[in-house]
Structure 1
Amino acid sequence: MNPYRLPDPDLEALLADDAPFGDATTCALGIGGQAGHMVFRARHAMVLCGVEEALRMGELRGLPGAGPVRASGERLAAGAEILTLAGDAAALHQVWKTAQTLMEYLAGIATATADIVAAARRGHPEIAVACTRKNFPGTKAAAIKAVLCGGASPHRLSLSETLLVFAEHRCFLGAEAPAATVRRLRRQWPERAVVVEVGDEAEALRWQQAGADIVQLEKLPPEAVDRIRRQFPTGTRTRIAAAGGINSANAEAYARAGADILVTSAPYFAPPRDVAVTLTALQTRPSTP
């Protein structure tokens, strides 16, 4: 899957952040005009993400791709070649670390996402996995691309496009009945699903009876999900989302318990997946950082 590419101004900003006034070392050594090429490889197995951005960074610095380019969303074996860039040493060194690091971090998110999706679908092949908006501020576009490449969807892209009622909202509603709250939300935003986060089984049943489209269970164990599912009336339209602490180790259990959706932030905290980089000058011996 290759859902989109980050725009050029974002990539230029990343490159400028690492070399705002050029590369001092390459300049001081006087090697910037020498020709070479740079090969990126997966050091370990991974779900790739960010290769389109790495290729475009090279193009923005006059480095055309000189080899096969893999696509974001591909699952790679250790040692698989990802991308080769060719051109002068000054440009290669300017692109090197930014492209490498971006792919490493995004592959970490994509791989962790794919692992959770795979575990969940062992428990229920139709279950959906959604990743929260708890990505590091300023990285949303890149992080969401990695989530999509891992086979999940965004839980909430922003506060502006979803209706998710927390206890922190309900404390301002006074004595308003849950059914009245649901009716009011449907009247105000008729095209949006009404999602309500709850902290116990009684709340889950109360909001299901009120007509919520999704009841989001916060930090309840799989056994509680199973009990709640069994108490929902046959044919109910209310879906169950399990949230809080969902990861690849417990996703299958939550899926088997009857959750329709798993909501997770875990991929954003996954370690990066190493990308090995080899720079080679023409007719010289390659070195691997």
Structure 2
Amino acid sequence: MSLNPYTLPDSLLEQLLQEDAPQGDATTHALGIGGRRGRMLFAARHEMRLCGSEEAVRMGALRGLRCVGDVAASGSALAAGTPILTLEGDVAGLQRVWKTAQTFMEYLSGIASGTAAIVSAAQRGRAGCAVACTRKNFPGTKTAAIKAVLAGGGVPHRLSLSETLLVFAEHRVFLDEEPAATVGRLHQQWPERAVVVEVASVDEALLWASAGVDVLQLEKFTPASVAALRAALPAGTRARLAAAGGVKADNAEDYARAGADFLVSSAPYFAPPRDVAVRLTVCD
């Protein structure tokens, strides 16, 4: 199954390239080497989950470069030293694409690799436990960041405020009604959407579970608290349990084993970039 969900549009890629050379490449121009022919190979320096290779190829095309040979797809699990892609063309184009494509793949592969690590840990805890990444990506990077999450085997938690019904304590402070009334009203107004409520304790979770919510988002629960809630829920309760707040690769297995139906995390957005090695050579 392919884990490459989409390729970013040319308009965004052109913006990235233009940002790095708004008045051209001074060094290549001054050296007078822009018209020479060369080849640029990208490869994984260490083990990684790849993301962004399709965009790198497209950046090359936007600067007149040709992709030669195979291209490792986003979502691929690469061993150290594995080739990713090779671009060929004039040196002016190679130099303009080099750092932007390299850095783009490094950052996105960091997010994808971070997501994959949490997914792997969650699956060890309980087969089928999904990992959803929040909307806490750096503003302006959502399209790229979500692609990386998907390439890592995760899913978006919520793409925007417009997409989901997620009731926080910051909403409830303005409500003057019982939980059952709130849930019933939301189900009536948006019948095709799940009602999610964030809770901070087992008692609060049980209260909203009895009100008929679809998902309980368990904010900063420990694995032990998740297990306690799972044991306390009456048989037939409709609410699914989403462990959130502080979920990382080193505790995801524990949360899944404790009874969470899925995990919610922002950690992949802060994962270190994965190094992509670049080698430029002269074409014969």
Deviations 1:228-255 (A, max 9, x none): 0001111221100000000000000000
Q: Name the residue aligned to 2:209.
A: 208
Q: Name the residue aligned to 1:146.
A: 148
Mapped to 2, the partners of 1:261 and 1:163 lie a distance apart of 17
Q: Name the residue aligned to 1:10.
A: 12
Q: The residue matched to 2:106 in structure 1 has which SS? A: helix
Q: The residue matched to 2:67 in structure 1 has which SS? A: coil
Q: Name the residue aligned to 1:251.
A: 252
Mapped to 2, the partners of 1:138 and 1:267 lie a distance apart of 16
Q: Name the residue aligned to 2:159.
A: 157
Q: The residue matched to 1:85 in structure 2 has which SS? A: strand
Q: Which runs of 5+ in 2 are unaligned?
A: none
Mapped to 1, the partners of 2:66 and 2:262 lie a distance apart of 42
Q: Name the residue aligned to 1:96.
A: 98
Deviations 1:192-250 (A, max 9, x none): 10000001111000000000000011001000000000011112211000000000000
2:275 partner amino acid = D
Q: Name the residue aligned to 2:171.
A: 169
The question of 1:26 aligning with 2:28 is answered yes
The question of 1:120 aligning with 2:119 is answered no
1:70 partner amino acid = A
1:138 partner amino acid = G
Mapped to 2, the partners of 1:4 and 1:233 lie a distance apart of 42
Mapped to 2, the partners of 1:20 and 1:118 lie a distance apart of 42
Deviations 1:139-183 (A, max 9, x none): 000000000000010000000010000000000002x00000001
Could you state the TM-score of these two structures normalised by the residue count of structure 2? 0.98
1:141 partner amino acid = T
Deviations 1:25-60 (A, max 9, x none): 000000000000000000000000000000000011
Over aligned residues, Cα RMSD in angstroms?
Answer: 0.6
C-alpha deviation, 1:282, in angstroms: 2.6
Q: Name the residue aligned to 1:109.
A: 111
Aligned match of 1:47 in 40, 46, 49?
49
Q: The residue matched to 2:16 in structure 1 has which SS? A: helix
Q: Name the residue aligned to 1:286.
A: none
C-alpha deviation, 1:67, in angstroms: 1.9
Mapped to 1, the partners of 2:256 and 2:227 lie a distance apart of 10
Where in structure 1 do 4 or more consecutive aligned residues deviate above 4 Å? none
1:17 partner amino acid = E
How many residues align? The count is 282
2:167 partner amino acid = V
Q: Name the residue aligned to 2:270.
A: 269
The question of 1:76 aligning with 2:81 is answered no
Deviations 1:66-101 (A, max 9, x none): 121110000000000000000000000000000000
Could you state the TM-score of these two structures normalised by the residue count of structure 1? 0.97
Q: The residue matched to 2:113 in structure 1 has which SS? A: helix
Mapped to 1, the partners of 2:118 and 2:226 lie a distance apart of 18
Mapped to 2, the partners of 1:34 and 1:128 lie a distance apart of 50
Question: Percent of pairs identical after alignment?
Answer: 69
Mapped to 2, the partners of 1:146 and 1:2 lie a distance apart of 9
C-alpha deviation, 1:261, in angstroms: 1.0
2:257 partner amino acid = R
1:280 partner amino acid = T
2:235 partner amino acid = T
